[in-house]
Structure 1
């Protein structure tokens, strides 16, 4: 009996071993034969093949950046060989799919080059100084097999000595990293070069900061301040989901932007702004934004954003939560961490409100629609975008603000938006292991608030009503004032740009005199009345001064060149509708109002 059991066990283990050895395996190798020409050279080894053909695909977008970017356009020199080294046939069956005839080969090698010369946090870039690899635009995947694991071996170019990535190292293999599936691979950017690396520990997590491009940053200051942000954010959720986290920072003469990943982020920064109060706070705000995405988006996310479809758009109406709430919290946490004062935080809210209310598109497009249409509008703005769209970042942050104040007020300080985010994280990411629907987020927020939030949804999220800011600020003993309310400044309604020595209209504001009376984008302004507009950098300023000297209701005779022909257009000067908000404390706030303010700002 014992012998039979042992024999059965041996047979079982052999079967398992044979099955595993026969499974498909994928190994990538990336080298840089011509970095000055901006190429990454990729080899993809696939073994364990059984089918006569295999389709290899490249994503058309990268998660976190909602635009079809057509990464396959950068692929060159595609070739395939079998186990013996002979060439195998293949065909391109659509824009991002290569169909390979395996010719009964169980193992094949695919080689291709990727042109990498777009500076952004979401696209690969290679030159003689470094390589930034954005995996969604670099690595192919077998159709229908996104769950396959893979390894990536990096062969740095001469004189490059460092690799920074959130991927796990493969023991015993130099510069080789492992991804458990393609979602993980596509979510793990790689920096290769001579970046300045320093580390710190916060919330029990080891953090690596990889600085490319130099800069006047103080490592100790960044370690201290970023750690404060990490601690404050972790406190909300009670858990930090990583053991290790990587910041890849690209420092430029003028840089910005960020892209979140599961255990890393890529940030753009201005290299010589770290030693100024404004520059440092701007960078720390970006850090705060992308780090908060660890919970909000990378784990707690709209149900449409995972599992990802890399072939086409992934639509959701909830980017106002995914990005807008994160935009709100980025400043909340720099304030809680003591990196900016409550007064400065409140002033930044006034500025954000002014920006949204000065955007005509805020009265045309709902924030839910802005989320859904991100794929065709957010990343493809044109001269009319301010008139027809609103940013789900900026408007979403204001929705977060009023929800926070509403919930703190209605629960008498027992809960706020923090509790909504934690409850959603626990329920949908931890417990149900899926994304949430719009209705589910609303239901949780209402549960925490203790009452319906339908009015906020109907009026401000799915509707176009102007937010009643004073209602919500009053909860905290604050008042918002439009400092421009009494202004009677005349307004033409255009923005201009100096192009090739010509003063060109670049935007026309909806509802303005220019809009109503027919000035067009791309018109060259020659004169207003008999006042000739200077074709210099000071020309726009001079024009604004001239218009400011007129009166509301008067007509301005504007001479322009349109398509080579001179036109004279009489424009009615309206009142400048721009708002400029400030927020101040009420003189005699009640105890209830002070309790809301203290809970909101986490004041002692």
Structure 2
């Protein structure tokens, strides 16, 4: 009762203030009360009180996009029982004008909108509610009032039923009192996820370069003991310091703190979602214990975003549009360069070994050299495709395997090449470049464009190099000499399966007496070149029946490039026969000189050490 009384009192004060002295302190604030009477069935009850409501008809709505996500999402599907009343509870007319938009016409100065929220998808984008916790991504949870003036208003939240469930609150929202939190405006509110649970925290202090002390914390909802959480926090500290060393300083976090919100449970949906002063990390593991390395990769990636994306911000994402996803040409840098650093810094922090890292490097290189899309499309176009692929849902078939490669890995491979080239050609590093981007655009929070990134590289190196790099590798589809660059660090880029026959990966399932191909075949594979594609049913290969993946694998396991397989298959046009000419797989791998039995030169040792050794002083 005490906690509910807080919000009721605040609303009454707001109404009184408007009537008596038009106090800005209360007149502008929008209040949300959040309760969980039916958490066991994944429901929350939410009310939004709007003092000094807009004159005439106004609209409230759910969002269709979310910070850190680049595709459109339909959050409005999970709210219902939408009602509007005055402060005495008298009903007002509310009309649903679109799937996620509601209009209120005749109304008093203060309007209360209430609704039921359903959420059973715990990740960085949606909402997860049960008796153990409420994991709230704000755009997926909260309606808001449209209009340029309304979105600038401050907001306050009251989270009720905390004692009932034994929950504590973790969020980057400002803590006002007891269970009340605030945000200065809608943009900040939407960028502030909330975890309500019996979470465990571990905190430490970082002294920034300017002498300011900042509180860092992990807030974990998992089945781990506090000792496990504390030990894991010490590993996170190492990553935090390595990332600070890249830029020379941490951002000045709002309210002097940064929090990693972490929810770990097998029924979760794995995700990591960056925010201005926090990050939402969700993992499908049993617990932290035994899963530390995988988790640290997500922690490293998302924390790097507190510089790159949250403050070094593409102009295309400003302001963030909650009614429809922003399209960006720059995600190869925003996400891709972050992908590169998130993995590489685990080596600098001593979490991963060089042998661990060779697999990561191999993955980056394969993403641009062994798949068809990067040969046709530049990183800018892959960035634009994010509006379709970043957790977007498609029920119809797509040709993504031939036209898309992840901008995370495409950009990560580009960052790898630029880092090695700066070291080899200019005695500079990608750290130097990122620091200059930070000083020019991140620290002053001045959104950038691709020409801005090129100009900074030109000032750091020379304009000719910068223009050629961007023309060839950002706007164009030319590929760097990864083998030569990696060799400078004593790493060998080589074929993954030399001399072995390969037909390409075939997605499929048993059907109609054979094996039906269920996904598009990939254009650089022998099976594609033989004319087979989705919905074709393979009956026999070289006279042997094919009914599952293992039978397909058996047909090529002893074959060599150039060998031929006769395939009998059928589709809607009838029965067919084709010949698959096997090739060598384009897949590559990276190994150290040491594993290959080769001796490193001193120059290679020095190059590798300068690249991958700790930079924390």
Which TM bucket (shorter chain)?
0.7 to 0.9
- 1:202-601 equivalences in 2 (<5 Å): 202-203=206-207, 204-215=213-224, 218-237=228-247, 238-242=249-253, 243-253=256-266, 256-272=270-286, 274-276=288-290, 279-380=291-392, 384-412=399-427, 415-431=428-444, 433-451=445-463, 452-474=465-487, 476-484=488-496, 486-491=498-503, 494-497=506-509, 503-507=515-519, 508-534=521-547, 539-550=548-559, 552-560=561-569, 562=571, 567-585=575-593, 587=599, 589=601, 591=603, 595-601=606-612
Change (3 A) 1:560 1:485: closer
Deviation at 1:343, TM superposition (A): 4.0
Distance 2:356 2:311 in 1: 31
Deviation at 1:48, TM superposition (A): 2.1
Deviation at 1:499, TM superposition (A): 7.8
Distance 1:350 1:379 in 2: 25
Contact 1:202 1:230 in 2 (8 A): no
Deviation at 1:463, TM superposition (A): 1.7
Deviation at 1:240, TM superposition (A): 3.8
Deviations 1:10-64 (A, max 9, x none): xxxx999535268332100011122222222110001123512222232211011
Contact 1:162 1:195 in 2 (8 A): yes
Distance 2:296 2:481 in 1: 30
Contact 2:511 2:537 in 1 (8 A): no
Secondary structure of 1:324's aligned partner: helix
Aligned residue number for residue 6 of structure 1? none
Secondary structure of 1:519's aligned partner: coil
Deviation at 1:456, TM superposition (A): 2.3
Deviation at 1:282, TM superposition (A): 1.6
Aligned residue number for residue 82 of structure 1? 86
Distance 1:499 1:295 in 2: 50
Change (3 A) 1:335 1:500: farther
Contact 2:367 2:410 in 1 (8 A): no
Aligned residue number for residue 28 of structure 1? 32
Distance 1:429 1:74 in 2: 36
Secondary structure of 1:304's aligned partner: helix
- 1:181-192 equivalences in 2 (<5 Å): 181-192=185-196
Contact 2:122 2:282 in 1 (8 A): no
Contact 2:52 2:109 in 1 (8 A): yes
Aligned residue number for residue 157 of structure 2? 152
- 1:39-188 equivalences in 2 (<5 Å): 39-49=43-53, 51-103=55-107, 105-143=108-146, 144=148, 145-156=150-161, 158-171=164-177, 174-188=178-192
Aligned residue number for residue 13 of structure 2? none
Deviation at 1:501, TM superposition (A): 10
Distance 1:161 1:257 in 2: 22
Contact 2:96 2:102 in 1 (8 A): yes
Deviation at 1:355, TM superposition (A): 4.2
Deviation at 1:209, TM superposition (A): 2.3
Contact 2:501 2:583 in 1 (8 A): yes
Deviation at 1:440, TM superposition (A): 0.3
Change (3 A) 1:597 1:551: closer
Deviation at 1:498, TM superposition (A): 5.6
Contact 2:482 2:493 in 1 (8 A): no
Contact 1:365 1:390 in 2 (8 A): no
Change (3 A) 1:85 1:493: closer
Distance 2:501 2:26 in 1: 77
Change (3 A) 1:301 1:269: same
* Count of equivalent residues: 576
Change (3 A) 1:81 1:225: same
Distance 1:547 1:429 in 2: 52
Secondary structure of 1:288's aligned partner: helix
Change (3 A) 1:500 1:424: farther
Give the RMSD, CA atoms, in angstroms.
2.9
Distance 1:378 1:553 in 2: 38
Aligned residue number for residue 7 of structure 1? none
Deviation at 1:99, TM superposition (A): 1.8
Distance 1:21 1:427 in 2: 36
Secondary structure of 2:215's aligned partner: strand
Deviation at 1:519, TM superposition (A): 2.1
Distance 1:502 1:31 in 2: 54
Secondary structure of 2:53's aligned partner: coil
Secondary structure of 2:300's aligned partner: helix
Change (3 A) 1:555 1:344: closer
TM-score, normalised by the number of residues in structure 1: 0.88
Distance 1:444 1:141 in 2: 39
Distance 1:435 1:181 in 2: 19
Distance 2:191 2:440 in 1: 24
Secondary structure of 1:338's aligned partner: coil
Contact 1:40 1:115 in 2 (8 A): yes
Distance 2:468 2:224 in 1: 48
Contact 2:355 2:591 in 1 (8 A): no
Deviation at 1:603, TM superposition (A): 6.5
Secondary structure of 2:153's aligned partner: coil
Structure 1 gap segments, 5+ residues each: 1-13
Secondary structure of 2:205's aligned partner: strand
Distance 2:400 2:26 in 1: 54
Secondary structure of 1:60's aligned partner: coil
Structure 2 gap segments, 5+ residues each: 1-17, 208-212
